[in-house]
Amino acid sequence: MDLSNANRIIIIRLSSLGDILLTTPLIRSIKKNFENIKIDFLLREEYKDTLSYNPYINKSYFYQRNDNSKVFESLSSSKYDLCIDLQNNLRSSKFASLLNCSKVKFQKHTIDKFLLVNFKINRLRGLPPIPVRYASSLKGFQLDDEGLDLFLPEGLKTSVKKQGNTIGFCPGSRHLTKMWPEEYFIELGNMLVSEGFNIALLGGKSDREVCKRISEKIPLSVDLSNNDDLLGIASEMKNCKLIVCNDSGMLHTACAVKTPVAVFFGSTVGEFGFIPYNNRNLILQNNCLSCRPCSHIGREKCPKGHFKCMLEVTPQKALNEILGMLK
C-alpha cells in the first residue's frame, strides 16, 4: 500500500522487550515521511513503557493474558487504512483479522532459521538487521539513519552520575545458553575496577538474584536491578560509559538510549538480525565452533555439554577488547 494515501495505521508487535524496541526506527521513519499519519500500536501490557513517552505514537492498545474483550471491541470498531503485523503468529493474526483494512506481515524467515540451526545451511547471510527487515514489510520503504528510540520522562533520579566512569553489567537473559557465566562477570568486574572503573549491576525482576550475587563479589560495585522498571533501568544506562550484556532485551534498551554496548553472543548468531542497531558496539563471540548456532532463541543447557561458545570467551579476552574500545 502507498503510505501517502493512509491516514491511520496500526502496528502489531506484542512482545518482547527487544523486539518492540526494534520497531521504533520504523515508527519514527513513517512519521518523519508522513507526518499526518496517526500510528497506533498493539503490544502486551508488561511492555507498555517501551512506547509510553514515544511522541510518534498516537495510541497504544494493551494485550492482556486473561481478558482482551475491550481490546477486541476497540479494534473492531476502529477504522484503519493499514495494519502492519510485525509479530506474524496466530495471536497477532487473530487481532489483524478484526480489522477491515489492508494488511502486511513481517517475513520471519522461519525455514531459513531452521536450516541454519539444524543443518548449518546459512541462507540468512547478508540479510540486514531486524529493524530493516521490519521496514521491508512495506515495499520500497526506507528507514532513516538513526538508531532505536526509548523516550524517558524528565526528572528521573539516577544513581549513576553523568560523565562518570561507570560501566553497567546486565548479566541476565531468559535462556542459559545466552548468558555469559556469572563467574566471568565477577572476574571481569574486578579487573575493570582495578583499571579505575565503577561497576553497576542492572536488570529486571528475573535478574535480581544474579545481580546481587555478582555485586557482592565486586568491591564497591552497586546493584541497581529493580522490579522491571524499564524507564528506571534505561535512565541508569544512559549515564553509563558502556553496557556489558548478553543477547537480550537489555542490549536493545542500552542501544535505545545511545550508550555503547559490549555484547556476548553464545548459542545465537548475528545472522538472526538482533545485533546492536546503529549504535557503537563490540560483539564478543567464539567464531571457531561448528555447532553455533544451536538455537535462534536460546536453550536451557548446551546440547553438546561443553558450552564453549561462552566459556572460551574469557574475561581476559573481554577485558582486552573492552579497553581497546574505550580507548
Provide φ and ψ at 159, rounded to 5°.
-90, -30
Q: Name the pLDDT band for 275 (thresholds 50, 70, 90).
A: very high
Given a cut of 80, is residue 1 above it in pLDDT?
no
Average pLDDT for 87-94: 95
Residue range 111-135, pLDDT digits in tens: 999 999 999 999 999 999 999 999 9
Q: What domains are defined for the chain?
A: 3-135 (3.40.50.2000), 166-326 (3.40.50.2000)
- Point out the least confidently predicted range of 59-68, 89-98, 168-177, 227-236: 59-68
**C-alpha separations of 229 from 129, 152, 233, 235 in Å:** 27, 12, 6, 10
pLDDT at 246 over 70: yes
| Cell of residue 13, nine digits | 508487535
CA distance 110 to 107: 8
Q: What percent of the chain has pLDDT over 70?
A: 100
**Whole-number mean pLDDT of the chain?**
96
List all residues 6 or more positions away from 286 whose beta carbon is below 8 Å from its beta carbon.
Answer: 266, 292, 308, 309, 310, 312, 313
pLDDT in tens, 294-325: 999 999 999 999 999 999 999 999 999 999 99
Over residues 186-201, the pLDDT tens digits come to 999 999 999 999 999 9
What pLDDT, on a 0 to 100 scale, did the predictor assign at position 304? 96
- Degrees to nearest 5, angle at CA 158 with 277 and 28: 30
Average pLDDT over residues 226-230: 98
Q: pTM of the predicted model, to two decimals?
A: 0.97
Q: How confident is the model at residue 17 (pLDDT cuts 50, 70, 90)?
A: very high
Q: Which grid cell is 198?
A: 565503577
